[in-house]
Amino acid sequence: MQEAWRENAIDRLLAERAAAPFTPVRALSLRCGRQLLFKDESVHPSGSLKHRLARALYLHHLREGRLAPGMAVFDASSGSTAVSEAWFAERLGLRHFAVIPEHTSPAKQALIRSFGGECITVNPQRCCKQEAARLAQEHGGVFLDQFGNAARVVEWHAHNVAVELFTQLAERGMPLPDAFICGAGTGGTAASTGRFLRRTGRATRLLVVDPEESAFYAHFTGREAGCLCASRVEGIGRPAVEPAFDPALIDAMLRVPDAASFAAARWLKSRLGWSVGVSTGTNFIGAIHALAAGGQCVATLICDGGERYAGTLDNEDWLAAQGFHVAAWKEAIDRWYAGGDWLPPQAISASEPCRRSTGRAAE
């Protein structure tokens, strides 16, 4: 009976993947014929880029024979992966428990619960991953382990966001972007994109953006990596480098001030009417940097929607309490959008570009 259930569950996930339409690409046309492309991952049924990862995690554990009907599954998350995991768990008849930082937005927690999941909040001084693993063992459940499994479950050659984007551009006869910008949470999106670009010989460079209070940028630039605080940009940034993060696949990194990420997300809504999450704001700042450095076409991601950050992104008192001066950043983005000059009000740390040939060899 359990084997029949597993086979049926795998078939259902594969059918959902096969039937899923490509997520749309939004184009922002700029001066002198330049373009900024946003692949909108917020339209997935579970509302974010993490829909792809959650599906891949369940497929992995099902194929390994670890899941059974009604079983409890646990994972550590800052919110969006947990939302997507709960969405799939509800459809597979599994009980989902999200082990999340206590500062995770109430809107995300409500979404997790709306899909039948349960939230277990953890003090910032405790490790969500260790707690999720402990609870899974204690209750005879399965630890999905998005951070430990992202590199192995996300395929570089198919069913990922980069392959889909480049297929869409080819179908439209559009040129390849000069750069692709994304953040790192698990490191899985950056790793799968980097492998795709290298192994298919694309000249597109991979730029990874990192928020404050995150270990990835320091690790990439050869400094001691580790932070005591949780990132205020939910979904990206980690206090320690995760296994999926592979610096060898990345061409350059940018550390983006948190105030800039919040300001950029708010700018996209106020100026373009796009309600986006804060990590999309981080991506946007990275894209502006790449265009200001001479790029003609740059691509990035809309990771999720802004409604998930109600109470922070739209809260002037909360932003002021964080010491964020978003008005200055929004003015800088306005000037860039109007005339192309990028003069950020605060220095942005950028790594030295890696000197790699554009004709990329396989790893």
pLDDT at 340: 85
Indicate if 174 and 319 belong to the same structural domain.
yes
pLDDT at 32: 82
Taking only the tens place, the pLDDT of each residue in 195-215 is 999 999 999 999 999 999 999
Indicate if 168 and 234 belong to the same structural domain.
yes
Q: Could you tell me if residue 219 is inside a domain? A: yes
List the one residue out of 115, 53, 38 whose CA is nearest residue 305: 38
Count CB-CB contacts under 10 A for residue 174: 15
One digit per residue, pLDDT tens: the chain, 363 residues? 799 999 999 999 999 999 999 999 999 989 888 999 999 999 999 999 999 999 999 999 999 999 999 999 999 998 899 999 999 999 999 999 999 988 888 999 999 999 999 999 998 778 899 999 999 999 999 999 999 999 899 999 999 999 999 999 999 999 999 999 999 999 999 999 999 999 999 999 999 999 999 999 999 999 876 665 678 999 999 999 999 999 999 999 999 999 999 999 999 999 999 999 999 999 999 999 999 999 999 999 999 999 999 999 999 999 999 999 999 999 999 999 999 899 999 989 999 765 444 434 334
What's the pTM value of the predicted model, to 2 decimals? 0.94
pLDDT at 362: 38
Indicate if 178 and 103 belong to the same structural domain.
no
Output Rg (C-alpha) for the chain, integer angstroms: 20
DSSP 2-31: HHHHHHHHHHHHHHHHHHPPPPPEEEEE-G
Tokens of 61: 């554990």
pLDDT at 353: 64
Indicate if 172 and 252 belong to the same structural domain.
yes
Beta bridge partners of 72: 95
CATH number, residue 133: 3.40.50.1100
DSSP 203-254: --EEEEEE-SS-SHHHHHTTS----SS--SSTTS--SS--TT--GGG-SEEE
Indicate if 162 and 179 belong to the same structural domain.
yes
CB 334 within 8 A of CB 265: no
Indicate if 37 and 57 belong to the same structural domain.
no
pLDDT at 67: 97
Q: At 235, which amino acid appears?
A: G
Full residue range of the structural domain in which residue 131 is found: 50-146
